[in-house]
Structure formats: C-alpha cells, structure tokens
Amino acid sequence: MARARLFASLCGLVFLLNLARIIFAPLLDVFIGEFAIGEATAGLIVTLAWVGSASLRLPTGWLLTKVPRHSVVIGSGVILAVASGITATAMTVPQLMAGAFLMGIASGVYFVAANPLLSELYPARIGRVMGIHGASSQTAAVVAAPFVALTLVIDWRLSLWTIAVGAAVITAYTWFAARGTDMPRAGRADRDFVAGALSEWRLVVTALIIVGAASFIWQGLFNFYELYMQSKGLSDRAAGAMLTIVFAAGVPAFYFSGDLADRFPHVPYLLGIVGAFAASLLALTLVEGLVALAAISGIVGFVIHAMFPATDTYLLDTLPDSTRGSTYAVFSSAWMLTQALGSYVLGLFIERGYSYDSVFASAALFLGTTVVVLVLLERTGRLPS
C-alpha cells in the first residue's frame, strides 16, 4: 500500500513536470503580445525549456550515486514549484526565459531519478509501471492547449501558478509517501558513475541505434505536424485536430505497450515498434482526405508513443543494480540530444524545396532499412539483449 501511494504521487508529479515543458507552446501568442517580442524570441523560450530538460541529466546521474533516488525526485518537485512561480511573476523576457529553463531542468532531473526508482520499486512489473507512469505524462500533452485556453479567460499567469501550487502540494505528498515506504536497496550498489556507465556502453549504443533514428524523425514530424497537414489541404483547425489525435493516441499506447514490454523479448519488440512506425509514416505520406489522415494519425501516434515505455523497460530491466542509475542517465542524456536536432534538420530540407511527403517517405524507407539490418543482427545474436 505504501508503494502504491508513492507511485500515485509520482504519476501526479510527472503530469505536472511534462505539462511544464509543453505549456509554453500554446502561450507563445500571449508572450508575443504581452512582451512585444518577435517569433524568434518566443520560439527561444520554448527551446530553453527543452534545453533545460536535457542540460542536467548527466550531472543528475552522478548525483544518484551519492543521494537516494527519492530525494532527487523530491528535489525536482521543489525546483518545479519555485521555477513556475518565477515564470508566473516574470515582468521581463530574461526572467521568463530563466523560468522556462528552470522548469525544463526540473523535468530532466525528475526523469533520470524517477524511472530507475520505479523499476526498483516494482522489479517484476517494470513495463507496466513505466506504461502507467508514461500515460500520466502523456496526458499533459493532450490537455495543455485546452488548459491554457481555459486559464486565459482570467490571466495567462494562472496556468503557471496552477503548476507551481500543484507541484508544491504533490511534492509535499511525495515526501510524506516516501517516508512511509520501505525503499529498495538495489540502487545502493551504484556508486561509481563513470565506471558504471562505461561498463554498459554496448547496451547504451545498441538502444540508441534501435530507437535513435525513430525519435529523431519523430521530433521533426510532430513539431511540423500541423504545417504538414496544411500542406495536404487541411484547414488550420483540422490540422490542429490531427496533432491532438496523435498525442491522444499516446495515452493508451503508453499503458498497453508497457504491459506488452513485460511479456515480449525486449529487442524484437522494440524492432517491431520501430518497423511499424516506419510503415505508418510511409502510409501517412500516401493518403489524402480528412478521414484517412485522422485514421493514420491515430496509428502513427499510437505506435511512436509505444516506443518510449518499451525503451525504458529494455534499459531498466536489462541493466544490473550496480550500474542502473548511472547508465540510464547517460542513455537519457544522449537520447535527448539525439532527438533535439530533428526539427532543425527537417526545416533545412523544407527550406531547400523538398516536400513534406518526399522527406518523410525517404525517412520511412531509411528507417525500414535499418530495422531489416538490425533484425538480421538480432537473429544472429549480435545485439545485447
């Protein structure tokens, strides 16, 4: 029961942490009007939230060799509450940027600490807890835009104050729940960050090879999804609805994929997901019309979001107690950096005159080819499993 209470509190905290990363996108128009800034400066605010999320993942991995995982999780909640308050009271653009960066830092610190903690709290059901936890996080992506629209009736700052107060309350409850929980001892053997990470470099590289290209392509796809749908003849509103479908499909995807990740061999399951993403992306480039695009968008959203709990389960279930926290921090940091350039690279191709369909079709074929090669390597026993 004590572990269930702690797990519930983490699901609430991860919802707010992911909302903190996403909430800036629907607020961009407000920032442009409120602070008299251009689109580039407004876009930098969003970028800083994601840069913040990536920036301290490696140092957090080192910190986990010195400090209990639940203490770092509670610290991330404190950072989120304070950072959201700073952002909510911002009167200048630099203050707004600093707040966004700190809100991003909170999420990065949290994920590096919380995911290994959850895997050690429920070692026999890692995939299931990763799926439920991920579904809680993904729900924030679905509700962010309507949540901001609702708070704008009163004041845009209300959305950030809500996150600040919610983070303070849930963090306090997490601290209370952690005090009454018998914490696992598994992570106590992980005390040498560099040696631990280096000892598992093959597993990290293998995971990045399997999912790195797919997540890179996904970053470009979802950030340009509305523009892509508009290029297929949809209205602005319909294009926005397609992106909502993609994100909404991710909620059940996290839940079901986490459960399946416990049942199937990790590497073949991951390769199946990446192959399905390549096939659905190729199908997306071939269809037209509102109904067909909505159906394929749902499939794309479900498949790609299924990859994330499966990846976490692969790493956290395969890594030994003595290196889990260190190695997961290295993987998480490298994976985030791998994804980060996806939108930029896609933008370069579009600016040079390539169509969205041609770029995404080429990406799908490349991804499919890599899956075939990796399947052959897996069948011959050349991939760590």
CB 267 within 8 A of CB 378: yes
pLDDT of residue 385: 62
**∠ Cα 313 368 354 (to 5°):** 120
Domains assigned to the chain: 2-183 (1.20.1250.20), 194-379 (1.20.1250.20)
Q: Angle, nearest 10°, between helix axes 290-318 and 324-340?
A: 150
* CB-count exposure of residue 40 (10 Å: 0-12, 13-18, 19+): exposed
* CB-count exposure of residue 227 (10 Å: 0-12, 13-18, 19+): exposed
pLDDT band at 44 (very low <50, low <70, confident <90, very high): confident
For 95, other C-beta atoms within 10 Å of its C-beta total: 13
| HSE, side-chain direction, 13 A CA sphere, residue 93 | 18
216-to-236, 343, 352, 377 alpha-carbon distances in Å: 25, 8, 19, 22
Predicted confidence (pLDDT) per residue in 98-141, tens digit: 999 999 999 999 999 999 999 999 998 899 999 999 999 999 98
Distance separating alpha carbons of residues 318 and 102, to the nearest angstrom: 32
Predicted confidence (pLDDT) per residue in 326-368, tens digit: 899 999 988 888 887 787 788 888 888 899 999 999 999 999 9
* CB-count exposure of residue 252 (10 Å: 0-12, 13-18, 19+): middle
15-to-22, 115, 167, 186 alpha-carbon distances in Å: 11, 14, 10, 26
pTM over 0.85: yes
